[in-house]
Amino acid sequence: MQLDSKIPDGPLSEKWDRHRFELKLVNPASKRKFKVIVVGTGLAGASASATLAELGYEVMTFCIQDSPRRAHSIAAQGGINAAKNYQNDGDSIWRLFYDTIKGGDFRSREANVYRLAQISNNIIDQCVAQGVPFAREYGGQLANRSFGGAQVSRTFYARGQTGQQLLLGAYGALSRQIAAGKVSLFTRRDMLDLVVIDGKARGIVARNLVSGELEKYAADAVVLATGGYGNVFFLSTNSMGSNISAAFASYRKGASFANPCFVQIHPTCIPVHGTYQSKLTLMSESLRNDGRVWVPRSPEDKRPPDQIPETERDYYLEERYPRFGNLVPRDVASRNAKVQCDMGKGVGDTRLAVYLDLADAIERDGRDVIARKYGNLFEMYKKITAQDPYETPMMIYPAVHYTMGGLWVDYNLMSTIPGLFVLGEANFSDHGANRLGASALMQGLADGYFIIPYTIGDYLAQDSHDTVREDHSAFNESSLQVETRIKKLLSIGGKRTVDDFHRELGHILWENCGMTRKEKDLKKAKKLVADLRVEFWENVLVGGSGQEFNQSLEKAGRVADFLQFGELMVIDALERKESCGCHFNEDFQTDEHEALRDDENFCHVSAWEYRGEGSKPKLHKESLEFENVELTQRSYK
């Protein structure tokens, strides 16, 4: 298999325009003859569904929730970047491009990232037209704030619920197309397999989560927008339903999986407080704009925060990184929190937390201003911890948040299976080894509104398709396989619950393949995960039947996939013998404990090809060419 990224020729700033011109078009009258399946209704999926339907394609959209509006994009808090330069502070498409490439530690494609920066401006315009109530200045102009990793104010926001508002905008556009009859919506459906016929993606098998029935859907192309795999760690900021099953089923069918070890650990989450805990809650990174991160200077200092005088506080980010201070990129902020806690300077009952203090900002701007910016975050924090952030500094600790890795896609967002397109967090494309704050929303919407509508046309226009119907033998085979697996899961009748296995898997990965990694630990983890997977298939207890609404069965299938995927993640981490962005291998660091890249040997995307159960996946390398930026050691000092 040869990875062809299909990056167009020409100067960076002209690539996308030129490419759009070169893409083949589908005659408007022919569009309605093409069926497209979109799986997932987050920002990428909803925007893609709506836009493809507007163009005239016949779209079938699937989501696991009872409503498309509940996809996890809804939980994004902070904002969305765009190179509008409304603040006149020197921002430009080039600067957004450069920040994103550098923030990703030079492990993403120049052309993709540049296109993302170009499109960012259209996204804001589109969302405003849809009625997204972005924050405004007194004069009625759009307001901006700055965000981690950037020295300009380019983040647009709607209180602390930007993801919600953007998703509701896309959901509105989707709902409009459903009403127009151009999109058929299938809610509470779990995609369990991808159907590949003659080497092309031609449909899916999905389980109706209410009736338990397996359903088959055929189409001319399949678009996956199923989000990331952060839940492989059990505890993450992802929603409970977020899973990798659709992407992993596609991987098993031949779609390569790129950079699975690139997992972003978000620095500002509410710390873990018990074994029963089901998920971690993120406090928007925007808090770092006004908040100061600190721990006591001395590990012995167990006083409450208000009794620790200024001189005995260690504002470690401000001291180590005077230029960026509290606004260093997420990976740097996270790792430094871990370092402080490892030195015993952590705070709170578990000693696995640092303070995020807004007292200075409250004093400077007044309580009202701070409440307007962060009121809902403060309320959320108070609800969970029963502490009032207006009175006492918040406690935060890093948590798994976003996965840069995902299915490999070319410049057209098509995977290694022709006809299978992957959007948003589910693909690997734009964030390299680390994503900057407020860039996930940007990418999801760029993919869905402004990229897939053109590139899918190119595929459909040039490929001659036979009509495939749901009674094709490949659908039956696929459905049978899925059914066999469900029966197997139900028949084991072991002694441990699905959650129990999931929790253990998460623990193994967090300890050994989390914020920092070591070859020794990774090797250990690989074995532990493999053993756990064996035990799972012998000792899991699911309960109920397949012919009904069965949430335990849903989870079981997802955890089974996570158990397989977890190993792939560890294999990828072992293979990448360097540190870059979020992948911090302790064996590769600078004297100042920063990630030490090895551009000579690892300036590539690692794309893994499935080779059957039990065999080691095959590594393909797509080397990354940098013609426009100089590869530098990231420094935020």
Q: Which residues form the catalytic set?
A: 330
How far is residue 285's CA from residue 305's CA, in Å, rounded to a whole number? Answer: 21
Q: With H, G, I as helix, E, B as strand and everything else as coil, classify residue 605.
A: strand
Residue from the set 126, 146, 434, 606 that interacts with other proteins by CB under 8 A: 126
Q: Which of residues 172-211 bind other proteins (CB under 8 A)?
A: 172-173, 175-176, 178-179, 185, 187, 210
Residue from the set 337, 341, 380, 468 that interacts with other proteins by CB under 8 A: 380
Q: Which is nearer to other proteins, 82 or 624 (CB)?
A: 82
Residue from the set 131, 199, 322, 344 that interacts with other proteins by CB under 8 A: 131
Q: Which is nearer to other proteins, 209 or 573 (CB)?
A: 209
Count of positions on this chain that bind other proteins (CB under 8 A) = 83
Q: In angstroms, what is the minimal distance from the CB of 395 to other proteins?
A: 13
How far is residue 23's CA from residue 342's CA, in Å, rounded to a whole number? Answer: 53
Task: Note whether 500 binds other proteins by CB under 8 A.
Answer: yes
Task: Note whether 130 binds other proteins by CB under 8 A.
Answer: yes
Residue from the set 20, 252, 273, 485 that interacts with other proteins by CB under 8 A: 273
Residue from the set 2, 88, 141, 307 that interacts with other proteins by CB under 8 A: 141
Task: Note whether 551 binds other proteins by CB under 8 A.
Answer: yes
Q: Which of residues 572-611 bind other proteins (CB under 8 A)?
A: none
How far is residue 251's CA from residue 617's CA, in Å, rounded to a whole number? Answer: 10
139 C-beta neighbours (distance < 10 Å), count:
5
Q: In angstroms, what is the minimal distance from the CB of 432 to other proteins?
A: 27
Q: Which is nearer to other proteins, 104 or 448 (CB)?
A: 448
Task: Note whether 229 binds other proteins by CB under 8 A.
Answer: no
Kindly state the tokens that stand for 93.
């498409």
Task: Note whether 277 binds other proteins by CB under 8 A.
Answer: yes
Q: Which of residues 456-495 bind other proteins (CB under 8 A)?
A: 495
290 has which bridge partners?
none
Q: Which is nearer to other proteins, 211 or 467 (CB)?
A: 211
Q: With H, G, I as helix, E, B as strand and everything else as coil, classify residue 235.
A: coil
**Strand duo 183-186 + 145-146: pairing:** unpaired
Task: Note whether 10 binds other proteins by CB under 8 A.
Answer: no
The C-alpha R_g of the chain, in whole angstroms, comes to 24
Distances (CA, A) of 633 to 21, 109, 567, 589, 636: 37, 17, 30, 11, 10
Which residue shows structure tokens 């940007």?
Answer: 442
H or E element in which residue 201 lies: strand 200-208
How far is residue 342's CA from residue 319's CA, in Å, rounded to a whole number? Answer: 18
Q: In angstroms, what is the minimal distance from the CB of 34 to other proteins?
A: 18
Task: Note whether 318 binds other proteins by CB under 8 A.
Answer: no
How far is residue 313's CA from residue 309's CA, in Å, rounded to a whole number? Answer: 7
Task: Note whether 259 binds other proteins by CB under 8 A.
Answer: no
4 C-beta neighbours (distance < 10 Å), count:
10
Residue from the set 97, 106, 134, 608 that interacts with other proteins by CB under 8 A: 134
Q: In angstroms, what is the minimal distance from the CB of 616 to other proteins?
A: 35
Order of strands across the sheet that contains 200-208: 189-197, 200-208, 214-218
Residue from the set 384, 480, 527, 623 that interacts with other proteins by CB under 8 A: 384
Q: Which of residues 145-164 bind other proteins (CB under 8 A)?
A: 156, 158-159, 161, 163-164
Q: Which is nearer to other proteins, 281 or 392 (CB)?
A: 281
Q: How many CA atoms lie within 13 A of 609 on its CB side?
A: 12
Burial of 141 (0-12, 13-18, 19+ CB in 10 A): exposed
Residue from the set 1, 17, 30, 133 that interacts with other proteins by CB under 8 A: 133
How far is residue 621's CA from residue 2's CA, in Å, rounded to a whole number? Answer: 9
Residue from the set 339, 461, 541, 574 that interacts with other proteins by CB under 8 A: 541
Among 26-34, 117-125, 219-227, 514-522, the segment contacting other proteins (CB under 8 A) = 117-125
Q: Which is nearer to other proteins, 80 or 332 (CB)?
A: 80
Residue from the set 276, 473, 491, 632 that interacts with other proteins by CB under 8 A: 276
Q: Is 209 left (phi over 0), alpha (psi -120 to 50) or beta?
A: alpha
Q: Which is nearer to other proteins, 346 or 448 (CB)?
A: 448
Residue from the set 7, 128, 530, 629 that interacts with other proteins by CB under 8 A: 128
Q: In angstroms, what is the minimal distance from the CB of 342 to other proteins?
A: 25
Q: In angstroms, what is the minimal distance from the CB of 265 to other proteins?
A: 18
Q: Which residues contact 513 (CB under 8 A, 6 or more apart)?
A: 261, 521, 522, 525, 569, 570, 573
Q: Which is nearer to other proteins, 29 or 386 (CB)?
A: 386
Q: Which of residues 344-373 bind other proteins (CB under 8 A)?
A: none
Q: In angstroms, what is the minimal distance from the CB of 31 to other proteins?
A: 14
Q: With H, G, I as helix, E, B as strand and everything else as coil, classify residue 200.
A: strand
Kindly state the tokens that stand for 262.
């690139």
Among 323-331, 410-418, 540-548, 591-599, the segment contacting other proteins (CB under 8 A) = 540-548
Task: Note whether 383 binds other proteins by CB under 8 A.
Answer: yes
Q: In angstroms, what is the minimal distance from the CB of 258 to other proteins?
A: 27
Task: Note whether 106 binds other proteins by CB under 8 A.
Answer: no
Q: In angstroms, what is the minimal distance from the CB of 550 to other proteins?
A: 8
How far is residue 635's CA from residue 630's CA, in Å, rounded to a whole number? Answer: 14
Q: In angstroms, what is the minimal distance from the CB of 69 to other proteins?
A: 6
How far is residue 216's CA from residue 237's CA, in Å, rounded to a whole number? Answer: 32
Distances (CA, A) of 113 to 101, 263, 317, 426, 605: 7, 19, 28, 16, 15
Task: Note whether 144 binds other proteins by CB under 8 A.
Answer: no
Task: Note whether 140 binds other proteins by CB under 8 A.
Answer: yes
Q: Which of residues 44-103 bind other proteins (CB under 8 A)?
A: 47, 50-51, 54, 65-67, 69-72, 74-75, 84, 86
How far is residue 50's CA from residue 54's CA, in Å, rounded to a whole number? Answer: 6
Residue from the set 87, 151, 184, 497 that interacts with other proteins by CB under 8 A: 497
Q: Which is nearer to other proteins, 86 or 315 (CB)?
A: 86
Report DSSP letters for 266-282, one per residue.
Answer: EEEEPPP--TT-----B
CA 241 to chain centre: 14
Residue from the set 2, 29, 88, 278 that interacts with other proteins by CB under 8 A: 278
Q: Which of residues 433-452 bind other proteins (CB under 8 A)?
A: 449-450
Q: Is 259 left (phi over 0), alpha (psi -120 to 50) or beta?
A: left
Question: What distance, in Å, lies between the first and last C-alpha atoms of the chain?
Answer: 42
